[in-house]
Amino acid sequence: MPLRVCHLITDLDTGGAERSLVNLVTAMDRDRFDCDVVTLIEPGPMAQPLLDAGIPITSLGMRRGRPSLGAVWSLVRHLRATKPVILQTWLYHADLVGTAAALFARPKFLVWNVRCTDITQADTEKPIRWLVRALALLSGRPDAIVVNSHSGQSDHKSIGYRPKRWVNIPNGVDLERFRPRPEEQAALRTRLRLDPNAITIGMVARDHPMKDVDTFLSAASVIRKSCADVQFVLCGDGFVADNAVLTTTIAKLGLDRRVFRLGRRTDMEMIYPALDILTLCSIYGEGFPNVLCEAMACGVPCVATDIGDSAEIIGDCGAIVPMRNPDSLAQGWQTLLERGLRGLSGLARSRMEGRYGLDRMRAHYQSLYDALARNLSA
């Protein structure tokens, strides 16, 4: 009989944790594991791949930013009805709600999932900082805490997390979906209304202070002085034409005709291969950035700030630069151009194949769940 696992997450928007959950649940061995997904608030666009794969989704109906005891009780009823052996929670709000519900529904095992770094710094909203510190006091309750980065584990230890067991499982990338498409690059750029022949540097993120798009744009104005034939792509929530603040910044830097805004996309396997270089500018919050793995799987070398496990992911296939430093970021791009993008492309793909394939992540989670289940019969 398959082992029942319930996955609890805040929503199913287009974030890294949500993408990892979808990748994991849709890839797990259905003969051995029976999974369902519960969201605290209404699920977002990442729900569709789960539904397409036949994975049940239940929403607890919470309103964003408004905790609800009714939602906790709804989860208790759901857990009592479905009787999962393991309740796996993803992200802080789900960790808290899942822990509260587990007191009454009593699944055999509770597992938290920690995905972030630097979450208690001054730029983080106060409710989140309070929530993380409250969870630190409760961190002995789960049977294990999964982290996706060494830096995330270290940061949460410093906050006061003291679990029974840490389990480090890096994110995995779907190497079939995300793959190099060199023969299609010109056509992909034409479809996106980009110059097929210009050096194309991209940033895939949401428009949020932690992503530091200002540094990306400032670095773009720097490299334009030495490399005129270059264009820049911003892809993700908020990177749209009617973003007035962004429009003003781009105009002030003289980049009006060089920056292209794609907004949110669901066809990222066709966006990364259109790029020559992918950039991560984040200044906090990143543990194990999925965008780096996805881009590198597509053969796109990366330049990233020294945050989370970015340096470990990139290795010698790109460049790591200081945060909030446009000159260093521009120099990182220049270094990759001088090293040769074609050679770096092959190295990036090979690194993902050897270290971060989806099969590896799935095997680690299945091994953890199997080990917990063996305790039932011990």
> Which tens digit of pLDDT belongs to each residue from 271-299?
999 999 999 999 998 999 999 999 999 99
Which domains does the chain show, CATH number per domain?
A: 3-172+357-377 (3.40.50.2000), 182-355 (3.40.50.2000)
> What secondary structure letter does DSSP report for 343?
H
Contacts of 205 (CB under 8 A, 6+ apart): 211, 213, 235, 236, 280, 281, 282, 291
Q: In the predicted model, is pLDDT for residue 66 greater than 80?
A: no
pLDDT at residue 122 in the model:
47
Q: In the predicted model, is pLDDT for residue 32 greater than 90?
A: yes
Cβ proximity of 128 and 67 under 8 Å: no
Q: In the predicted model, is pLDDT for residue 64 greater than 50?
A: yes
Q: In the predicted model, is pLDDT for residue 123 greater than 60?
A: no
Higher-confidence residue of 64 and 232: namely: 232
In this structure, of 20-24, 97-101, 303-307, 374-378, the range with the lowest mean pLDDT score is 374-378
> Which tens digit of pLDDT belongs to each residue from 179-197?
999 999 999 999 999 999 9
Q: In the predicted model, is pLDDT for residue 124 greater than 80?
A: no
What is the C-alpha end-to-end distance of the chain, expressed in Å?
A: 18
Q: Residue 337 and residue 295: Cα distance in Å, rounded? A: 17
pTM here is 0.89
How sure is the predictor about 120, in pLDDT bands with cuts at 50, 70 and 90?
low
How sure is the predictor about 378, in pLDDT bands with cuts at 50, 70 and 90?
low
Q: SS3 for 73? A: helix
pLDDT at residue 127 in the model:
80
Contacts of 44 (CB under 8 A, 6+ apart): 11, 12, 13, 14, 18
Q: In the predicted model, is pLDDT for residue 222 greater than 60?
A: yes
How sure is the predictor about 136, in pLDDT bands with cuts at 50, 70 and 90?
very high
Distance between alpha carbon 355 and the CA centroid of its chain, in Å?
17
**Which letter, b or e, does each residue of 100-133 get, where b requires 16 or more Cβ atoms within 10 Å of its Cβ?**
bbbeebebbbbbbbbbbbbbbeeebeeeeeebbe
Q: Residue 262 and residue 260: Cα distance in Å, rounded? A: 6
Q: SS3 for 175? A: coil
How sure is the predictor about 63, in pLDDT bands with cuts at 50, 70 and 90?
confident
The CA-atom distances, in angstroms, between 307 and each of 185, 311, 350, 361 are 30, 8, 23, 21
Share of the chain above pLDDT 90, in %: 90
Mean pLDDT of the chain: 95
CA dihedral sign, ordered 268, 271, 275, 279: negative
